[in-house]
């Protein structure tokens, strides 16, 4: 079972326009309105994969029934903690034009009260107590940004407890807020060489991934957008550094690409052995690419995945400077 937890649930609104001109008005039809947030979208992609997944969220009473009906219609399992006090669920607004370009506006969400976070954590850990299916293990995917006011220590406690229950943990979010202790596991092995420093003003994805591994993660996967992903796993002589990129330049709605990547990682970690790097990276990029080609986050065509997978370009560590 893969359990996804969304600390910052959102309602996804997608508008279609001929072309978006900044500073001008545009007539639009009613937007596509769906239950969203990164954990929900990740569970939706896992469902398309045929992988059992459960989405855990917190919502106000007015939204909970609509939300549940939405997920049930899409075949996504869910558990909802209802917040009695007035609670604002943020929105993620995507404006997609006919040329395939997308503009995304994400509202911040409100932090759940402490008692609600305890209830969310309890639901998650309850699922991790059940025996895993033969040949698999439980995975906890913590998805999305942390709402303001939610203490990182509370999240760290949940991560640590999930690790004590032998669950694999995937964290999908910006690096800085997600600095809780991560349960270590035996690192994957493969030699690597150092990467030259990037030009001034650019972020080095390998250095960023190594910092996360040094902080306690077993592996770090850094998205480089349309240029693919960087994987760093292990440290020292056991370090692996790999990159993967799509085989063609794609245009579309990138809003759900990261969620599809998280779903691919979680699906591979649900196996009992150490994931194969090449297979994992091919799936990460292929599912992300298929998500870009879909107009709605969390909804994609598996046929696009099958077409993109053999096109993925896999590379070893970047060469050292001369």
pLDDT band at 48 (very low <50, low <70, confident <90, very high): very high
Q: Residue 53 — φ and ψ, nearest 5°? A: -145, 150
pLDDT at position 316: 67
Are 290 and 301 in contact by the 8 Å Cβ rule? The answer is: yes
pLDDT at position 186: 29
DSSP alpha helices (H): ranges in 98-233? 114-129, 152-164, 205-214
Rounded to an integer, what is the distance from CA 122 to the centroid of its chain? 22
| 263: nearest Cα among 234, 293, 302 | 302
pLDDT at position 226: 85
Q: Residue 147 — φ and ψ, nearest 5°? A: -65, 150
Question: Mean pLDDT across the chain, nearest whole number?
Answer: 81
Q: Is the pLDDT of residue 184 over 60?
A: no
Q: What does the block give as tokens for 11?
A: 């309602």
Buried b / exposed e across 178-205, counting CB within 10 Å, b at 16+?
bebebbeeebbebebeebeeeeeeeebb
Q: What does the block give as tokens for 250?
A: 């794609």
pLDDT at position 183: 44
Sheet holding 10-17, edge to edge: 32-36, 10-17, 90-97, 102-106
pLDDT at position 65: 87
pLDDT band at 299 (very low <50, low <70, confident <90, very high): confident
Buried b / exposed e across 3-17, counting CB within 10 Å, b at 16+?
bbbbbbbbbbbbbeb
CA atoms within 13 A on the CB side of 228: 21
pLDDT at position 43: 94
212-232, pLDDT tens digit by residue? 888 888 888 988 888 899 999
Are 125 and 162 in contact by the 8 Å Cβ rule? The answer is: yes
pLDDT at position 5: 93
3-state secondary structure of 19: coil
Query: Of 229 and 175, which is predicted with more confidence?
Result: 229
pLDDT at position 156: 83
54-98, pLDDT tens digit by residue? 999 988 888 888 888 888 888 999 998 888 765 667 788 888 887
Q: Residue 189 — φ and ψ, nearest 5°? A: -125, 135
Q: What does the block give as tokens for 198?
A: 């990037």
| 147: nearest Cα among 87, 93, 78 | 87
According to DSSP, the β-strands at 240-245 and 229-233 are antiparallel
Are 96 and 19 in contact by the 8 Å Cβ rule? The answer is: no
Residue 199's alpha-carbon distances to 202, 203, 231, in angstroms, are: 6, 8, 20
What end-to-end distance do the CA atoms of the chain give, in Å? 48
3-state secondary structure of 318: coil
User: pTM score, two decimals?
Assistant: 0.84
Tokens 């609600």: give the residue.
116
Q: Is the pLDDT of residue 181 over 60?
A: no
| 230: nearest Cα among 211, 216, 248 | 211
With residue 280 as reference, give the H or E element that holds it: helix 277-292
pLDDT at position 195: 40
d(CA 210, CA 159): 20
Q: Where are the beta strands (DSSP E) in the chain?
A: 2-5, 10-17, 32-36, 53-60, 77-83, 90-97, 102-106, 139-143, 168-172, 219-223, 229-233, 240-245, 313-315
Q: What does the block give as tokens for 300?
A: 């994609």
d(CA 267, CA 98): 33
Q: Is the pLDDT of residue 31 over 50?
A: yes
Class of the domain covering 2-18+31-315: alpha beta
């Amino acid at each position: 079972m893969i359990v996804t937890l969304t600390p910052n649930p959102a309602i996804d609104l997608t508008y279609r326009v001929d072309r978006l001109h900044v500073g001008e008005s545009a007539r639009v039809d009613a937007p596509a309105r769906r239950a969203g947030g990164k954990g929900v979208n990740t569970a939706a992609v896992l469902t398309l994969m045929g992988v059992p997944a459960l989405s855990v969220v917190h919502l106000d009473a007015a939204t909970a029934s609509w939300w549940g009906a939405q997920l049930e219609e899409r075949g996504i399992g869910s558990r909802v903690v209802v917040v009695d006090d007035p609670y604002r669920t943020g929105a993620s607004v995507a404006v997609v034009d006919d040329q395939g370009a997308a503009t995304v506006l994400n509202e911040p969400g409100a932090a759940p009260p402490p008692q609600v976070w305890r209830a969310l954590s309890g639901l998650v850990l309850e699922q991790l107590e059940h025996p895993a299916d033969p040949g698999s293990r439980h995975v906890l995917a913590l998805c999305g940004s942390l709402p303001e006011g939610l203490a990182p220590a509370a999240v760290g406690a949940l991560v640590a407890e999930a690790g004590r229950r032998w669950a694999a943990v995937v964290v999908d979010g910006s690096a800085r807020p997600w600095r809780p202790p991560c349960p270590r596991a035996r690192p994957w092995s493969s030699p690597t060489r150092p990467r030259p420093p990037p030009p001034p003003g650019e972020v080095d994805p390998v250095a960023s991934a190594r910092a996360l591994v040094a902080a306690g993660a077993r592996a770090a996967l850094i998205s480089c957008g349309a240029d693919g992903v960087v994987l760093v796993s292990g440290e020292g002589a056991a370090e692996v550094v790999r990159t993967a990129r799509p085989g063609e330049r794609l245009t579309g709605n990138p809003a759900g690409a990261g969620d599809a990547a998280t779903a691919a990682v979680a699906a591979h970690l649900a196996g009992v052995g150490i994931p194969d790097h090449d297979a994992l990276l091919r799936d990460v990029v292929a599912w992300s690419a298929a998500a870009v080609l879909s107009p709605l986050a969390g909804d994609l065509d598996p046929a696009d995945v099958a077409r993109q997978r053999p096109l993925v370009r896999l590379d070893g560590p970047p060469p050292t400077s001369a």
